[in-house]
Structure 1
Amino acid sequence: MEVFAEYLARIDHPQHRARTEEVLTWVHKNFPNLMPKIAWNQPMFTDHDTFIIGFSVAKPHLAVAPERVGITHFSDEIVQAGYDHSKELVRIRWDRPVDFTLLEKMIEFNILDKADCSTFWRK
């Protein structure tokens, strides 16, 4: 997880840093075949050089980006978890728990859905 050390060090708020590190570590531990990397100044995980999931930090939330297809596929579950979302990302407010079961489903969906994808983003 050394790849994320500099990114995490730049998060000023200690609780936001700890939450972000917890999520990134969880993904790395539960999906060891995914490649952790920083791209566009954001931590993300890839599989065979295709994007699987990315994260970013904002003042009110941790943003989770499973691509638009992932958002559409899990829209109802995202709302049921109490999260707000746009077409491209899920917003997990800092004062809300992380639904790791939903996060796992989104990652597994992208791994399977993009198994034959030869580009970084879906086309």
Structure 2
Amino acid sequence: MEVFTEYLAKIDNPQHRDRTEEVLAWVTRKFTNLEPKIAWNQPMFTDHGTYIIGFSIAKKHLAVAPESAGINHFSDEIVQVGYDHTKQLVRIPWDSPVDFSLLEKMIEFNMLDKVDCSTFWRK
């Protein structure tokens, strides 16, 4: 989690900072084999040099970016839990609970789907 300390310190809203820290800490604990890093000024996790999932903050939500393949695969579930999404990210409103089960499925999907991937992003 040390890699995220500076990023978290720059989040002005204490509730947003706490929520972001909670999610990043959960991913770090749950997926100990993933490498936490900051790239493009955003926290993300990689596996064998390939992107698995990233996060960013916005005024009204925490954005989760599992690449478009993850969004497409889980689109129905994303909507069922009450989140909005675009082609590239899922919006978790600050006042909504985090569905860690869905987050876990998205991470596991990307890890399995990209097990033989040798590039950072999917082609």
TM exceeds 0.5?
yes
TM superposition shift of 1:57: 0.4
TM superposition shift of 1:24: 0.1
Q: Which residue in 2 is equivalent to 1:8?
A: 8
Instruction: Give distance in 1, aligned partners of 2:4 and 2:59.
Output: 19
Instruction: Give distance in 1, aligned partners of 2:71 and 2:38.
Output: 22
TM superposition shift of 1:71: 0.0
TM superposition shift of 1:37: 0.1
Instruction: Give the TM-score taking structure 1 as reference length.
Output: 1.00
Instruction: Give distance in 1, aligned partners of 2:23 and 2:80.
Output: 20
Q: Which residue in 2 is equivalent to 1:30?
A: 30
Equivalent position amino acid for 1:63 in 2: A
Equivalent position amino acid for 2:64 in 1: V
Q: Which residue in 2 is equivalent to 1:122?
A: 122
Q: Which residue in 1 is equivalent to 2:72?
A: 72
Instruction: Give the TM-score taking structure 2 as reference length.
Output: 1.00
User: What CA deviation, in whole Å up to 9, does each residue of 1:56-79 have, x standing for no partner?
Assistant: 000100000000000000000000
Instruction: Give distance in 2, aligned partners of 1:27 and 1:85.
Output: 20
TM superposition shift of 1:33: 0.1
Instruction: Give distance in 1, aligned partners of 2:102 and 2:52.
Output: 14
Q: Which residue in 1 is equivalent to 2:113?
A: 113
Equivalent position amino acid for 1:21 in 2: E
Instruction: Give distance in 2, aligned partners of 1:109 and 1:72.
Output: 11
Runs of 5+ consecutive residues of structure 1 not aligned to the other structure: none
Q: What does 1:84-99 align with in structure 2 at a 5 Å threshold?
A: 84-99=84-99
Runs of 5+ consecutive residues of structure 2 not aligned to the other structure: none
Instruction: Give distance in 1, aligned partners of 2:81 and 2:58.
Output: 19
TM superposition shift of 1:29: 0.1
Aligned-residue Cα RMSD (Å) equals 0.2
Instruction: Give distance in 1, aligned partners of 2:77 and 2:11.
Output: 29
User: Would you say 1:82 and 2:103 are equivalent positions?
Assistant: no
Q: Which residue in 2 is equivalent to 1:40?
A: 40
Instruction: Give distance in 1, aligned partners of 2:97 and 2:73.
Output: 21
Q: Where does structure 1 differ by over 3 angstroms across 4 or more consecutive aligned residues? A: none
